[in-house]
Amino acid sequence: MIRILDPGPQTTVQDLGRTGQMRYGIPPSGPMDRFAFVVANRLVGNADGAAALECTLVGPRFDVDAPGAMAVTGADMPLTVNGEEALRWATIALKAGDVVKLGPARTGVRSYIAVAGGVDVPLVLGSRATYIRGRLGGVEGRALRKGDALRVVPSGVARPRRVERRAIPDYAGESAIRVVLGPQADRFTDAGIRALLGGPYEVLPQSDRMGARLRGSRVEHARGHDIISDGIALGSIQVPGDGQPIVLLVDRQSTGGYTKVATVCSCDVGRVGQARPGQSLRFQAVGVTEAHRLLRESDAVLEAAVREETA
């Protein structure tokens, strides 16, 4: 059992998402940074989709009532166990009564806490992921509160593992985000496309799990910003009438009637989710073939990221 002593501003239970429900207007939810989430689970020997905690800007403080193991990845939040600094991106053994605390993020936005066995909350439409706007999944469809107690699925002993240093993302500085132009790139002027790819664009404080709102050079429309509503993919860059892009993320709406100038490559969506308010992004256009190559490259990094510790 995990007992929440201080939840932080927004800590939720997530798994890899609620698939097959967009047709009913229900987004997949799941982790904003899939790479960090999956790595956390692999560090404790879980399946990739086991439920874990996503923490935003400041992590929680909690204790455990039995021995186990955990791992913390993602944003650079200082991590302590019983007041002693602990290693992130590695397996950590826990004893009954241990108190874990994650402090304010120094870089990045979201950290992930995986526990061996996974967090045990009820399935809702086939997933444990929390969708706060719809009050679905997780713990009563909401962020965690002080006093919440989370069951952990029983598991065997987690072998000690760590992440290769070169595989740990750097969330500081300006992120280069690769995009494929379209599906409505023809609804923008050449100057508008050049503006998007010229950047930079500042991440605004109004950003959330639904979308990253950006501010920068106006992305000019050629024939108006409204279209007949169509489906929205993860990473779609929607441009309303003010010409300021919005990157749509895991809690996005299922359809929308604003033109979409480009789509973020899936391997870069996590970097958008880790960009802090005030941080800058730059967009770089690639073709579909290059986007597929980047995805294969990202998958290879993930497969090689976690290594078992040797005696």
State how beta strands 61-64 and 84-85 pair: unpaired
Do residues 151 and 255 make contact, with C-beta atoms less than 8 angstroms apart? no
The architecture in CATH of the region 175-303 reads Beta Barrel (2.40)
Cα–Cα distance measured from residue 136 to residue 122, given in angstroms and rounded to the nearest whole number = 10
The tokens for 57 are 């800007």
Query: Cα-flanking dihedrals φ and ψ of residue 144, to 5°?
Result: -70, 150
Domain ranges of the chain: 2-167, 175-303
At residue 189, the pLDDT reads: 97
At residue 311, the pLDDT reads: 58
At residue 254, the pLDDT reads: 94
Hey, how many other C-beta atoms are within 10 angstroms of the C-beta on 294?
16
At residue 157, the pLDDT reads: 80
Do residues 38 and 48 make contact, with C-beta atoms less than 8 angstroms apart? yes
Q: Among residues 142, 161, 151, which one has the least CA distance to residue 29? A: 142
Provide block-wise average pLDDT over 10 residues at a time, the chain (311 residues): 97 97 95 98 97 98 97 98 98 97 98 98 97 97 98 90 94 94 96 96 97 98 92 96 97 95 97 97 97 97 91 58
The tokens for 177 are 């985000």
List b or e across 135-169, with b for residues whose CB sees 16 or more CB atoms inside 10 angstroms: ebbbbeebbbeeebebebeebeebeebbbeeebeb
